[in-house]
Amino acid sequence: MSLTNKDKLYSVIQQAVIDELQTKQLTLKNNETQFVPVSISARHVHLEKKHADILFGFNHRFEKFKDISQPGQYSCVEQVTLIGSKNEIEKVRVVAPLRKQTQVEISMTDARKLGVSPPVRHSGDLKDSAPIKIVGPKGSVDLKEGCIVADRHIHMSPKDALAFNVSNHQKVKIEINGQKGGIMYNVTIRISDRYALDMHIDTDDANAFGVSGKEKLKLLK
């Protein structure tokens, strides 16, 4: 490497260190007023291509119902029915785009109604998760695994993570005000350059703490 190239590299590294230190200093000054927006995730289904073809027909084009908080993701007009050993739940929305593996996300209340026993997991962690049946307008799919209760989590970009001084998969606490307020424990930090800052909780957690989905909640370490 030439001296000129080395100088350029050192300059880039030096600036990156300075930027990070400045960010951390700003974080230390503002660590008492760090708030994150929150969204409430109702039951929904992510589909892989093979299962989408079975449920809705070959190469079905899903219609957007509305955007959700994460870039490029949206809930669809299309809906399915979930069937467990005890009961069924109709009108469960599909969330697009398609994924590598079909995933069903429900609450503990939904699980009791359906008669299934899903584990609490990160999205995508589906090994040995609960079986469930999905019924669409064109056919049905019997999943051997794929049904979970999503853990409480906060999506962050790397820049957000620096500002909040947290690391990927770190567990944090969230303070909630209001008549049913309290401290929500075991909230997982999830960091990616594909993420927008947003906390996701399910309907059970929202109801338990009186969260409407319009608040900004305080992050505690």
Burial class (CB in 10 A: 0-12, 13-18, 19+), 30: exposed
pLDDT tens across 106-125, in order? 999 999 999 999 999 999 99
Final residue before a domain boundary, out of 102, 120, 150: 150
199 touches 175 (CB < 8 A) = no
State the alpha helices, DSSP H only, in 31-142: 49-56, 108-114
Instruction: Clarify whether residues 126 and 180 are in a common domain.
Output: no
Mean pLDDT to the nearest integer, 17-42: 66
Instruction: Clarify whether residues 168 and 186 are in a common domain.
Output: yes
Q: How confident is the model at residue 18 (pLDDT cuts 50, 70, 90)?
A: very low
Domain count, the chain: 3
Instruction: Clarify whether residues 58 and 89 are in a common domain.
Output: yes
Torsion on CA atoms 193, 121, 100, 146, rounded to nearest 10? -160
CATH number at residue 214: 2.40.40.20
Final residue before a domain boundary, out of 150, 175, 207: 150
Structural domain boundaries, residue 24: 1-30
Instruction: Clarify whether residues 60 and 129 are in a common domain.
Output: yes
Mean pLDDT to the nearest integer, 86-95: 98
State the chain's maximal CA–CA distance in angstroms: 72
68 touches 155 (CB < 8 A) = no
Instruction: Clarify whether residues 144 and 47 are in a common domain.
Output: yes
Partner residues linked to 175 by β-bridges = 183, 218
d(CA 99, CA 95): 10
Instruction: Clarify whether residues 73 and 110 are in a common domain.
Output: yes
Q: How confident is the model at residue 40 (pLDDT cuts 50, 70, 90)?
A: very high
Look up residue 54 and give its two tokens: 């079975």
Instruction: Clarify whether residues 19 and 49 are in a common domain.
Output: no
Instruction: Clarify whether residues 74 and 135 are in a common domain.
Output: yes
Q: How confident is the model at residue 20 (pLDDT cuts 50, 70, 90)?
A: low
Q: Is the pLDDT of residue 30 over 70?
A: no
Look up residue 92 and give its two tokens: 């469960």
Final residue before a domain boundary, out of 121, 150, 179: 150
Instruction: Clarify whether residues 70 and 136 are in a common domain.
Output: yes
Instruction: Clarify whether residues 7 and 73 are in a common domain.
Output: no
Q: What residue has token string 């989590």?
A: 153
Instruction: Clarify whether residues 171 and 210 are in a common domain.
Output: yes
Instruction: Clarify whether residues 142 and 161 are in a common domain.
Output: no
Q: What is the pLDDT of residue 10?
A: 47
Look up residue 201 and give its two tokens: 């909780």
